[in-house]
Amino acid sequence: MDLARLVEEEQPSPGTRCLLYKATNNPTVAIHGSILAGTSSEPSGKSGIAELTTRLFIRGTRRRRAGKIADLLESVGATASFRNSQDSIVFQARMTSQWTKRVLEIVADCLSRPALAPKDVDREREGLLTDIRLRDDDTTRRGMRELSALMYPRGHPYRRDRFGTAETVKGLDRRDVKEYFDGVVARSPVIVAFAGQIKKDEATRWTRQTFGERDPNKKFGSKGSADPPSTASRREILMAHKTQSDILIGGMATSRTDPDYEALNLLNAILGELGFMGRLGQRVRDKEGLAYSCSSFLSAGLAGGGWTALAGVNPRNVVKAYELMKEEIGRARTDPVEEQELADAKQNQLGSALMELESTEGVARTSHNLTHFGLGLNYFAKRRQIFGKITREDLQKMAGKYLDDSRLSSVIVGPRAKN
């Protein structure tokens, strides 16, 4: 699909961008949008305020309570959601075209006129505190939080957990939420992508009326340091009441716009995704039987990113599984990947992108993300050319640059092994 030819772009008002893909053969309409706020735009000392504010959008507006919003959406088979992320606050909606006006009115109400009622703030704050307790009692999520603290230098926006901490969240009240909404959310740039049976003037009018004028010069909240910590670290966290241990190995990587991204992404697919969890899964899980799961993933945002290998193991197998994971990572640095592995990784990534464009939700999400990262709607055509130039040696260079022992920290979370 040629998005550059099929997706129209408008700027309904300063600081807003509206993307539209018209599909006359699909009776649905999908919206995927974002506000350049989120965890990285939180004021100092207010960790968790973006998450708390985002949760309140669906809790009611000045005109509709939460129950009424849920009933209206459910009665027409529509969905609407709001999610906080490191880079932005994301909103999504899906409906059949005959109910577009009703659903857009609800979404606009939630985004521009949230009630932010004191009792709702108190309720959602308690819910967030519960989620923080659950996060800190989960081996994987606790490990990811600890690894981020080792992986990113102080001051880097991705070092923060989007839930915040129990200490900071307990101190948040309605005034903090209102200040964050009025001072950050209501002023930050917006991108909205529509796909399906909707007219351009309807989409642009909704965007303009919902968001008004925004600051078009506002950039991403905080770039932070581009350099990894000077030394790699290893941390062990004892959780005696657990029955499984998690092993996490990771380090800083690239932003989504960095020229290294595509080669590093292909390397990650080979190491932790292709087939069933890639090389790591084959070696540690399938061949040696030392892990319940073993894979890797690359996360990349506006301010950088990280690469992480993750395994869930029996506590008795921690030492051996850790050694094998390090061995497989080391092999990527010393030996070029196989030609077939590289070809499979390229085909996997190209195929995944095509599958994403099979639905209106996928088209809206993809066109939004390409615009959010400034990659251009013609990116997929350029990507094929980029892939054509990436060699096995390029992937080996990426392994040497990003997966060197000096850059990779480790976290092991779980109980002590019983003899």
For residue range 162-213, list pLDDT tens digits in order. Answer: 999 999 999 999 999 999 999 999 999 999 999 999 999 999 999 999 999 9
What's the pLDDT score for residue 230?
66
pLDDT score for 223: 54
pLDDT band for position 64 (cuts 50, 70, 90): very high
Phi/psi for 161 (5° steps) reads: -85, 140
Tally the C-alpha atoms within 13 A of residue 388's C-alpha that lie toward its C-beta: 6
Residue 56: the pLDDT is 98
Burial class (CB in 10 A: 0-12, 13-18, 19+), 287: exposed
**pLDDT band for position 224 (cuts 50, 70, 90):** low
Residue 2 pLDDT: 86
Q: Where are the domains of the chain?
A: 3-211, 234-414
pLDDT at res. 226: 62
Would you say the CATH fold of 234-414 matches that of 3-211?
yes
For residue 388, how many other CB atoms are within 10 A of its CB? 9
How high does pLDDT run on average in the chain?
A: 94
Measured in whole angstroms, the distance separating CA 256 from the mean position of its chain's CA atoms is 11
Q: How far apart are CA 55 and CA 58, in angstroms?
A: 6
Average pLDDT over residues 33-61: 96
pLDDT at 225 over 60: no
CATH homologous superfamily of 3-211: Metalloenzyme, LuxS/M16 peptidase-like (3.30.830.10)
| Position with higher pLDDT, 153 vs 218 | 153
Residue 317 has pLDDT above 60, yes or no: yes
CATH code at 234-414: 3.30.830.10
- Nearest CA to 56 out of 133, 105, 127 is that of 127
Q: What is the mean pLDDT of residues 76-85?
A: 97
Note the pLDDT of residue 217: 84
324-334 average pLDDT score: 97
- Here the tokens at position 326 are 């390090």
Interatomic CA distance for residues 182 and 204, integer angstroms: 23
For residue 222, is pLDDT > 60?
Answer: no
Check whether 337 has a pLDDT greater than 80: yes
What's the rounded mean pLDDT across residues 383-398? 96
By the 8 A CB rule, do 248 and 324 touch? Answer: no
**Quick check: 276 pLDDT over 90?**
no
